Amino acid sequence: MSTKFVNTLPELIQNQIISKDTALRIERYFESKEANTSNKLFVVFGVLGSLLIGSGIILLFAHNWDYLPKMIKTVLAFIPLVIGQLLVGFSIFKKKSQIWKEASGVFLFFGVGAAIALIGQIYNVPGSLKGYLLTWIALCLPLVYLLKSKVLAILHLVFATYYACLVGYFESAQIPWMYLVMLVGLLPFYYNVIKNEVASNGFSLLNWLFPLSLTITFGAFIEVSSSILYLIYILFFGLLYNIGQLPYLKILKLRQNGYLAMGSFGVVVTLLLASFYRYWSGDFNYEYYKVSSFYVPILLIILTVVILVYSYIKDSLKPFNLFRYVFVLYLIIFIVNSYYATVGLVLINFLILGLGIATVKVGVDKSHFGILNYGLLIITALISFRFFDTDMSFVIRGLLFITIGVGFFSTNYFMLKKQKSNHNKSLNN
């Protein structure tokens, strides 16, 4: 794209559209930009190389070369670790570029993992995968700070999530408290990235991986019956959404803000699931409730309220956004529901409809097709779901679907028209 543009510069100068000076500046601008991109590419290749070599070494060790004497295997175990340490030490001491730091850091990360794995294998050290993973990532967490490495932060997050899944879901059904410790260990680094490196790709990735990791592992922290499960998940996704609306994150594009996207999507999906009648009929057996049924929702509500108050102080609550208050509305519905199940159910349906309409309005206001169609999808999903548990005649269902279809076309068409007229206006001005 830029080369094509640079190639047209002589033509532009010839036709006196731009001056020679401007052409030179444009050329320099693209040159510097290209140097930057190739730099990023180097980081990606460097990290990918280390990642592959590191995991390759672990796999080679996992083969278990049983004809090698114990002594040689033990020495072998330390080699990748020591090489990784020398490389990292060199890049710190010689103040090497970030490429060096990221690549050597990733190699050392796997060096540590390989060493513990092989020693464990040689001596048949008892101990499950989860203990091994925890030792590994705890030993490598300081590297994230020493090297200021976003790739190591991402690796840390991925392995911590794996650990939490092993503890919470696969190997046992315990609460993975150490996962929270590992997560908190990463927060100062993350905060620093939010403050100083908003433009980096690593930042966008972390913005998706943090909420994703939390969403995956959240289930391991709760042990409740299904009706309160929806409440807890709506509180959880409401919290994610509100985090995404914090002043630092609000200014980001949607593709950089995983909190907002996952929070919003999570709220809608959970609400849709909770809008089925069968989930509200006779599921209120208070005997099933464990301690986590109380402290988890209370903690989530407190955190959300703190964020809302903070946003209010920072004056970032405006314009009004229904998604931010879904947790309160659902809480009210939840309480109403335990007394009048039908009323609560009707209210949930209205809440989803309200969210759909509000999203469509935001889409129209911002002239954003993605948001507009997301809003329309919410409404469509609501109506489609209601077909499963109501006895509407086929004619009415058919007509409703046609109406939504027409709605889709017309709103998109009108918005396209609006955008075109705005475009023309700005050109005329």
Partner 1 sequence: MKTIYLFILFVVLALIQLSVPATMVFNNQSVLNSGTAYKFKTRPIDPTDPFRGKYITLSFDMNKAKTTDTIWENNSDIYVYLKTDSLGYAAVKTVSPFKINTDDDFVIAQTYGYYQKSNIIKFMLPFKRFYMEESKAYPAEVAYRKASRQALVNNTYALVYVKNGYSVLEDVFINDVPIGTYVDLQKSPD
CA 152 – CA 109 distance, rounded (Å)? 8
Q: Exposed/middle/buried for 30, CB within 10 Å: 0-12, 13-18, 19+?
A: middle
Place of tokens 């998940």: 233
Taking CB atoms within 8 Å and a gap of at least 24, the contacts of 185-190 are 185/141, 186/141, 186/144, 186/153, 186/156, 186/157, 186/160, 188/145, 189/144, 189/145, 189/148, 189/153, 190/153
Tokens of 417: 């028209």
- The distance from CA 228 to its chain's CA centroid, rounded to whole angstroms, is 24
Closest approach of Cβ 52 to partner 1, in Å? Answer: 16
Q: Is there binding between residue 320 and partner 1 (CB under 8 A)?
A: no
**Shortest gap between Cβ of 40 and partner 1 (angstroms)?**
24
Whichever of 78 and 289 has its CB closer to partner 1, that residue is 78
Cβ nearer to partner 1, comparing 29 with 170: 170
Contact between 203 and partner 1 by CB under 8 A: the answer reads no
Q: CB-wise, 126 or 282, nearer to partner 1?
A: 126
Query: Closest approach of Cβ 51 to partner 1, in Å?
Result: 15
Q: Which token pair is 28?
A: 């320099």
Measured CA to CA, the distance from residue 344 to residue 349 in angstroms comes to: 9
Residues 91-150 that bind partner 1 (CB under 8 A): 92-93, 95, 108, 112-113, 115-126, 129, 132, 135, 139-140, 142-143, 146
CB of 88 to partner 1, least distance (A): 6
Residues 325-384 that bind partner 1 (CB under 8 A): none
| Interacting residues of 287 by C-beta distance below 8 A, sequence separation 6+ | none
* Residue from 218, 221, 230 nearest 338 by CA: 230
- Asked if residue 56 binds partner 1 (CB under 8 A), the reply is no
Least distance from C-beta 96 to partner 1, angstroms? 11
* From 62, 298, 392, 396, residue interacting with partner 1 (rule: CB under 8 A): 62
Here the tokens at position 296 are 């988890």
Quick one: 139 or 341, whose CB is closer to partner 1?
139
Integer-rounded Cα Rg, in Å, for the chain is: 27
- Contacting residue, 30, 42, 78, 385, with partner 1 by CB under 8 A: 78
User: Quick check: 244 and 259 in contact, CB under 8 A?
Assistant: yes
Looking at the Cβ atoms of 5 and 123, the one nearer to partner 1 is: 123
**Least distance (Å) between residue 144 CB and partner 1:** 11
Contact 183, 160 (CB under 8 A): yes
Considering beta carbons, is residue 108 or 234 the nearer one to partner 1? 108
* Candidates 64-72, 150-158, 323-331, 387-395; binding stretch for partner 1 (CB under 8 A): 64-72
Cα 31 from Cα 7, distance rounded (Å): 13
Q: Is 58 in the site for partner 1 (CB under 8 A)?
A: yes
Stretch that binds partner 1, among 70-78, 287-295, 318-326, 358-366 (CB under 8 A): 70-78
Residues in contact with partner 1 by the rule CB under 8 A = 58, 61-66, 74, 77-78, 81-82, 85, 88-89, 92-93, 95, 108, 112-113, 115-126, 129, 132, 135, 139-140, 142-143, 146
